[in-house]
Amino acid sequence: MASPLSRRTVLQSAMLATAASGFAATASAQASAAAPPPPASWTLQPFHLKDVRLGDGIFAGKRQLMLDHARGYDVNRLLQVFRANAGLSTRGAVAPGGWEGLDGEANGNLRGHYTGHFLTMLSQAHAGTGEQVYADRIRTMVEALAEVREALRRDPAVLAVDGRFGSAAENVRGSYQFVDLPSGVLDGAGSITLSAWVKPTHEGNWARIFDFGDNTTRYMYLAARTANGVPRFALTTGGPGAEQGLDGTSALPLNRWSHLAVTIADGTGTLYVNGSAVARNTAMTLTPAALGTPADNWLGRSHFSADPVFAGAFDEFNVWSRALTPDEIAALQNNRAADTPAGRGDRASYAFDETTGATFTDASGRGLHATLRRTWGGPSHPGFLAAYPETQFIQLESMTSSDYTKVWAPYYTAHKILRGLLDAYLATDDDQALDLASGMCDWMYSRLSRLPDATRQRMWGLFSSGEYGGIVEAIVDLHSITGKAEHLTLARLFDLDELIDACAANTDTLDGLHANQHIPIFTGLVRLYDATGEERCLTAARNFWGMVVPQRMYGIGGTSTGEFWRAPGVIAGTISATTAETCCAYNMLKLSRMLFFHEQEPAYLDYYERALYNQVLGSKQDSADAEKPLVTYFIGLTPGHVRDYTPKQGTTCCEGTGLESATKYQDSVYFRKADGSALYVNLYSPSTLDWAEKGVTVTQTTDYPREQGSTLTVRGRSGAFELRLRVPSWATAGFRVTVNEQTVGGTPRPGSYFAVSRTWQDGDTVRVTIPFRLRVERALDDPSLQTLFYGPVNLVARNSVTTHLEFGLYRNAALSGDLLPSLTPVTGKPLHYTLDGTEFVPFFEGTEEPTHAYFRRAEPRVVFGNTVSGVANPAKADGTTLLDEVWAGAPFSSKDVLVTRVRTTVDAWVAAGLLSRADGDRVVRTAEQASYVP
């Protein structure tokens, strides 16, 4: 029954209906397009990945490592869990480790997410390189997922494999399938023999070969393996504590056929394994008759819900209404039951020779034909597609507290699959991928639209279990192609109102929240604004960004500690070995980019450069690996931290986003104004832009950030447009632009865009000079804890000690305020320096060397131009030192201006009683005697 509509829902429905009509008009035109239409609200628009080619440099090198990984990894391994869930052959593939298999953390409750990331990576790789190999791999995956969805829509069908005698029925691990026998198999039997041929494929404790009973109190089972590793038969009417059992003596071998039989008669039970009696109980007071007519008669399934479904194959299963003799059981080892003195079971007999369908014929003559079923029934909607049952989604709807071991972010996983399929469609025009994506949204709408708003709010507020990633962004993107009104309505069903309303009111409630669970909410809100025009969405996203940058941002651009946020402004107080989850940087880049499309606030792209050139580049190891992408989960910022490029055995969320990041490095180098009047150069990166609408190409030639500038060459037909060149906020002096070697007039302002307007001619050359300076950034809550930057590059100290290193940097500072002269460059190694015997290197180098991203600033003595005054460097109560105050006045146009600054500062400190006159005079004399670099 549909839930009552709230007042807010009614208002939204009216608004969304209006917005949907505009999208529907373009749906048919976009059906075969390679990208969704740009929203009308974007004053800037990106270029497609295919339009921007990377040149040689640090990005191309990192990308090539990932492209090689994408080309070589066996995609059947990713598809294994999907095929298993649908009861299809897994083709011998072994699922990846970590979170993507059945044996990973929380029993693989996130499986399927990595497949979505991989599809996105392949899509970006194909778009960026044009290589057919990536399109072929996309096609393989999409066809397999279509086959999976079709199998899930149907009743399960037997998977026939070679058996002990003929054909056998395989139960793929992860399929949640079992054989359901009709009532009457036991039928009050007092004496009985049960016999089965099985081939286990996994060491799953307590998986049942058979389980007959009503519940967890009254049952009779044969488990292939107990916690002690041996088979066990048990019969009880009083639950586990009252079981009368038979335990084997050794484990059943994996991937080999074993014969098991149980006989009960005259108070004696015997367990046989491969024809030998391995256990006998002569005090059995219970027989199957004690169970009457059990409600459930299962092969492969347990009455205990926590027990796994049997993984392996079944050959003959027979039930006789007497205890077979040892000789009769021995005869079953090499012959079908029908060809032995015992004959087929007179109560039930299944040969499992069927190769199609879901019904197994009973050869006992009693007509007790069995049926193959799923423990969870089947999908609630034909669009369902996942690598696990729909039960996680169902359980989430009634959860009041989080438990990721039971329900681990099912809508997050759905988002990754949906995004991957949508990207596959955009990259290859594969209508099957679009149909799968659209079907997933139809299914989600069918579930979520029936829930009361209060239920959804509770779900989305649950840590981890209710996480849904960037699903809203993907749904709106899909809607822009399909024009289906239900899809846009679906996007609004993910609103987490408490957080969104707080951010819209610019009220910071982030303390204690899981960072990456909530960042993608705001990329979705920006897209909702695009589709609906609701200002609340854009305002909330804008305000949220300001709560993270710089209030919860580390120098490298990352955020979060142990995946969570703490109070604003607490940086030094949150540094740990689990800071800066890589997914957070990935999603903050997305959000910054989206906000910039609406509001050309340079701070968004300043952040983008910071996080991309430091955390994102540094999160990819500079090594090749066929099995793993070698991407960090966390980047610890503690002293001496060693980056872990193989976290949690692979396939984590951050490795998934790492696949994507490394194949779209070029996505924000250039933007264009929606009307085509301007080209924004956001990043200085070796690349070639094909601006087809203008008939021009723009090639950037640079080794930035090893080179302090870039050269842009315009080729093609002449035309007028404005070239807008980003002036980084750190570029405080010397930013210069020439066109055809002629200086362009104007005053570039740090943290802005410098405009060059002209009618461009074929061959015009623009040279951008961007002098770097060495500078520090102080932790907001502890100014003495600092991190070092040279231009856009974070420099980290290589040292294995686990306490903060102490460095002084004023000793030879330049008149410009540049601290670089205090360091010594390393010959032949660009961007490498030494200070006091310690090497500083770029953060983006993906090595496993121990590093110090933050150090303790120590300036104990007043020193100018490497001339020591002999005076202790005094400090105020807030930690500001005399030298801090002097150099805060940089840049200085001359030595005399610096000396004047020293003199006035000294006078003020002497007057305040912070420095003696004699020491102050010595400080001034030292400043006068020292020599300085410009």
pLDDT, tens digit (0-9, with 9 covering 90-100), for 52-79? 999 999 999 999 999 999 999 999 999 9
Q: What is the tens place of the pLDDT at every residue in 801-829?
A: 999 999 999 999 999 999 999 999 999 99
Q: What's the rounded Cα separation, in Å, for the pair 853 and 553?
A: 13
* Bridge partners for 797 per DSSP: 840, 852
Distance of CA 880 to the CA centre of its chain: 42
The one-letter amino acid at 506: N
* Residue 548: Cβ-neighbour burial (10 angstroms; 0-12, 13-18, 19+): buried
Q: How many CB atoms lie within 10 A of CB 112?
A: 26
* Residue showing tokens 């010594």: 824
Give the β-pairing of 258-265 and 793-798: unpaired
- Angle (CA) 576 560 518, round 5°: 160
DSSP string for 18-56: HHHHHHHHHHHHHTT-SSPPPPTT-SEEEPPGGGEEE-S
SS3 for 102? coil
> What confidence tier does 37 reach under pLDDT thresholds 50, 70, 90?
confident
Q: What is the pLDDT of residues 883-915, one digit of tens each?
A: 999 999 999 999 999 999 999 999 999 999 999
Q: Is the pLDDT of residue 10 over 90?
A: no
3-state secondary structure 260-306: EEEEEECCEEEEEECCEEEEEECCCCCCHHHHCCCCEEEECCCCCCC
Per-residue HEC secondary structure of 828-847 comes to CCCCCEEECCEEEEECCCCC
Pair of tokens at residue 494: 């993910």
Contact partners, residue 933, CB within 8 Å, separation at least 6: 812, 814, 815, 821
Distance between CA atoms of residues 668 and 690, nearest Å:
14
Q: Quick one: tokens of 539? A: 């305002």
Amino acid at residue number 23:
F
> Token pair for residue 102?
């059945």
Domains annotated for the chain, with CATH where assigned, are 1-36+52-158+390-485 (no CATH), 177-374 (2.60.120.200), 670-704+709-769 (2.60.40.1180), 780-787+799-929 (no CATH)
Tokens for 163, please give them: 């058996």
Q: What is the dihedral of CA 88, 89, 91, 94, to 10 degrees?
A: 70
- pLDDT band, very low/low/confident/very high, at 468 (cuts 50, 70, 90): very high
Q: How many CB atoms lie within 10 A of CB 905?
A: 23
CA angle 301/94/650 to nearest 5° reads 110
The residues facing 722 across adjacent strands are 678, 757
**Residue 17 pLDDT class (50, 70, 90 cuts):** very low
- Is residue 754 within 8 Å of residue 728, measured between CB atoms? no
Tell me the pLDDT tens digit for each residue of 836-864. Answer: 999 999 999 999 999 999 999 999 999 99
Question: Where does the pLDDT of residue 107 fall: very low under 50, low under 70, confident under 90, or very high at 90 and above?
Answer: confident
- Residues 771-791 have a mean pLDDT of 97
pLDDT digits (tens, 9 = 90+) for 671-713: 999 999 999 999 999 999 999 999 999 999 999 999 999 999 9
553 vs 548: CA distance, rounded Å: 6
Q: What are all long-range contacts of 778-781, with beta carbons under 8 Å and residues at least 24 apart?
A: 778/857, 779/571, 779/572, 779/854, 780/550, 780/551, 780/569, 780/570, 780/571, 780/572, 781/569, 781/570, 781/571, 781/572, 781/573
Residue 103: per-residue pLDDT: 87
Computed over its alpha carbons, how large is the radius of gyration of the chain?
34
Q: Are 868 and 925 in contact (CB under 8 A)?
A: no
Binned at pLDDT 50, 70 and 90, residue 35 comes out as low
Task: Please report which helix (H) or strand (E) contains residue 680, including its range.
Answer: strand 678-681
Average pLDDT over residues 243-255: 98
**Do the Cβ atoms of 466 and 396 come closer than 8 Å?**
yes
Average per-residue pLDDT for the chain: 95
Q: How confident is the model at residue 480 (pLDDT cuts 50, 70, 90)?
A: very high
Region 616-625 average pLDDT: 97
What per-residue confidence (pLDDT) applies to 793?
A: 98
Rounded to whole angstroms, how far apart are CA atoms 778 and 784? 7
Give how far Cα 807 sits from Cα of 147, 783, 857, Å: 61, 14, 5
pLDDT at res. 33 = 38
Q: Tell me phi and psi for residue 873, to 5 degrees.
A: -80, 105
**Distances from the Cα of 752 to the Cαs of 551, 671, 733, in angstroms?**
21, 15, 13
Separation between Cα atoms, residue 570 and residue 779, nearest integer Å: 8
* Structure confidence at residue 788 (pLDDT): 98
For residue 16, pLDDT beyond 50:
no
Q: Which of 562, 551, 615, 561 is nearest to 587 (CA)?
A: 615
Q: Would you say 291 and 237 are in contact if contact means Cβ atoms under 8 Å apart?
A: yes
Report the interhelical angle of 58-72 vs 653-661 (nearest 10°): 120
- Is the bond preceding 182 in cis, omega lying within 30 degrees of 0? no
Mean pLDDT of 874-888: 95
The pair of structure tokens assigned to 725 is: 């060149």
- Chain segment 418-462, per-residue pLDDT in tens: 999 999 999 999 999 999 999 999 999 999 999 999 999 999 999
Comparing 9-18, 581-590, 604-613, the range with the smallest average pLDDT is 9-18
Tens digits of per-residue pLDDT, 20-34? Answer: 333 333 333 333 334
pLDDT, one tens digit per residue, over 637-667 is 999 999 999 998 889 999 999 999 999 999 9
Return the closest-CA partner of residue 857 out of 792, 787, 909, 767. 787
- Rounded to an integer, the average pLDDT of 204-230 is 97
pLDDT digits (tens, 9 = 90+) for 278-334: 999 999 999 999 999 999 999 999 999 999 999 999 999 999 999 999 999 999 999
